[in-house]
Structure 1
Amino acid sequence: MITVGLTGGIGSGKTTVAKAFEALDIPIYIADDEAKKLMNNSKVIRRKLIKLFGEEAYLNGTLNKPYLAKAIFNNKELLKTMNAIVHPKVGKHFVKWKNKQTAPYVIKEAAILFENGSYKNYDYIITVTAPEETRIKRVLKRDNSNIKKVKAIIANQWPDIEKIKLSDFVIENIDIKKTKEEVLKTHQQLLKLAKNI
């Protein structure tokens, strides 16, 4: 079974692409969603996050996302420390999940696949791209955020040009019809590659 990493900058449309693969019966693991579940349910993670951020990290037993987002917003070291607590657990959870799948390949969708060095753990990488202007508009519409915040997140992520150099497939996500065609083409190539292992 092939393991494929799916990544892209904020607002590039990773979820749209992931759903298109899902429609082709490919199992998808959304790292962010699973990380949030683990941050809420894992006693070990909870203990470490409270030690790092203080009691305010959880409100009524649930992860206090606005508080954490504010704390890590301009603090790269804090973000790095938090990721070092959460990501190894997500990695282990993914391996367990993958072992239960029967498809020729699985996809793990993760925003910071290059930034945290985990891209080396995949057989193939798909990077989703879109013009920065388009990405900013999408995030403003989706998250009720502001331009300053979105640009700060973009600044913390690798530029597309760097991601593309290390990717096996690039899907430009501007027009949904073309995106779905690209997904199908990539899917067919991955099926061929999966047959050869």
Structure 2
Amino acid sequence: MSKQRPYLVGITGGIGSGKSTVAKIFSILGIPVYFADDRAKWLMSHNPELKKAIEENFGAESYSSSGELNRSYLAAHVFADEEKVKIINGLVHPAVKNDFEFWAAAQNSPYVLKEAALLFETGSYTDLDKVINVSSPLKIRINRIMLRDPQRDEKQVNDIINKQLPDEEKNSKADYVIKNSDNKLLIPQVLAIHQELLQLAKN
């Protein structure tokens, strides 16, 4: 009999919302977490088909002579141009989707988490059974980002936030919302969702 695939759960949230912290709490509970943004960077340097497609679209300068991704070149020549961003996303997202499916099938767990900043923006949430959004007040998010990345000023932080879907829209699309603010404890919220997901995965 073939092994049943685990229940697939996405976890997202705007920059500075604390989604990585929430994902780590699930990880402590024994739930495998796929960090999609980190994995995308890895695939861009190690997946031969993806590397070839990036070189064909953006030139040999996309990689160093040792085969490492040339981040400064891509930042200057690709990520500053919205049309080029669409092209690179169209190459990277399918590679991440395949990688995640392969990874998820190998996990021995009732459910797995896919942590990604742009689950709703890319449409990849439609491949998942449930989605959790980590929501946090804007002021707290800005303070967190500026503490974490002191080289960014408030305008740069707001520019990044404005490129992502508003929190209200993410909350309305999500199956669960975890509120990460100074007056809400995270662990009880995570435990309640964890118990519900265990039940759903069992059924």
Q: Is the pair's TM-score, using the shorter chain for normalization, greater than 0.5?
A: yes
Corresponding residue to 1:47 among 39, 52, 55? 52
Q: 1:35 to 1:159 in 2, by over 3 A?
A: same
1:118 maps to 2:132: no
Report the equivalent of 2:173: 166
1:35 maps to 2:40: yes
The residue matched to 1:115 in structure 2 has which SS? helix
Report the equivalent of 1:2: 7
Report the equivalent of 1:147: 154
Q: How far apart, in 2, do the equivalents of 1:34 and 1:193 lie?
A: 27
Per the TM alignment, residue 12 of structure 1 is displaced from its structure 2 partner at its CA by: 0.8
Report the equivalent of 2:72: 66
Percent sequence identity is 48
Per the TM alignment, residue 153 of structure 1 is displaced from its structure 2 partner at its CA by: 1.8
Per the TM alignment, residue 73 of structure 1 is displaced from its structure 2 partner at its CA by: 4.4
Which sits farther off after the overlay, 1-10 or 174-183? 174-183
Q: How far apart, in 2, do the equivalents of 1:67 and 1:134 lie?
A: 33
Q: How does 1:124-139 map to 2 (within 5 A)?
A: 124-139=130-145
Q: How far apart, in 2, do the equivalents of 1:148 and 1:98 lie?
A: 38
1:23 maps to 2:28: yes
Q: 1:152 to 1:31 in 2, by over 3 A?
A: same
Report the equivalent of 2:86: 80
What is the CA RMSD across the aligned residues, in angstroms?
1.8
State the TM-score, normalizing by the size of structure 2: 0.89
Which whole-Å deviations, capped at 9, do the CAs of 1:135-173 have from their partners, x for residues lacking one?
122222223323233222212111011111111100111
The residue matched to 1:151 in structure 2 has which SS? helix
Amino acid at match of 1:118: S
State the TM-score, normalizing by the size of structure 1: 0.92
Q: 1:4 to 1:192 in 2, by over 3 A?
A: same
1:94 maps to 2:100: yes
Q: How far apart, in 2, do the equivalents of 1:109 and 1:165 lie?
A: 18
Q: How far apart, in 2, do the equivalents of 1:177 and 1:186 lie?
A: 15
Q: If you compute each CA radius of gyration, which structure gives the higher value, 1 or 2?
A: 2
Q: 1:164 to 1:177 in 2, by over 3 A?
A: closer
Per the TM alignment, residue 174 of structure 1 is displaced from its structure 2 partner at its CA by: 2.3
Report the equivalent of 1:180: 187
Per the TM alignment, residue 46 of structure 1 is displaced from its structure 2 partner at its CA by: 1.6
Amino acid at match of 2:25: A
Per the TM alignment, residue 38 of structure 1 is displaced from its structure 2 partner at its CA by: 0.4
Q: How far apart, in 2, do the equivalents of 1:176 and 1:50 lie?
A: 48
